[in-house]
Amino acid sequence: MSLFDEEIKKLQLRIIELEKQKKKEEESLSKKESIDYNFQIISDVINEKKTAIKKNIYCKSIQLARYNDLLLVKHIEAIYNILKILDDRLSDLENK
């Protein structure tokens, strides 16, 4: 009988382990689908590129990289602003 009890306990522990793993995966997925999380990622990219441009952290022989980052920042900022406006409008509509 004790062999069965041990197996049951092992299976129960495995079930608990799997439930915790599933919960972590669901939290991770919900975080990735979160608007605030995604806005933060875009904002971080913009800030990182702006810092690189300000500090001029580029090889002198590759001036094109700095120019490309300048263009990239402009485009990402535009997309970020559009998404922020849409999010604000949707929030206003949801509150009505």
Domain of 9?
1-33
Residue 28: predicted pLDDT: 75
Asked whether residue 75 falls in the same domain as residue 92, the answer is: yes
Asked whether residue 48 falls in the same domain as residue 83, the answer is: yes
Between CA 58 and CA 47 the distance in angstroms is 16
In terms of Cβ atoms closer than 10 Å to its own Cβ (0-12, 13-18, 19+), residue 45 is: middle
Asked whether residue 59 falls in the same domain as residue 92, the answer is: yes
Asked whether residue 65 falls in the same domain as residue 19, the answer is: no
**74 pLDDT band (50/70/90 cuts)?**
confident
Give Dmax over CA atoms of the chain in angstroms. Answer: 76
Domain total of the chain:
2
Q: pTM of the full predicted structure?
A: 0.53
pLDDT tens-digit series, residues 53-67: 777 777 666 777 777
Asked whether residue 47 falls in the same domain as residue 12, the answer is: no
pLDDT tens-digit series, residues 5-50: 888 899 899 999 999 998 888 887 777 677 788 888 888 888 888 8
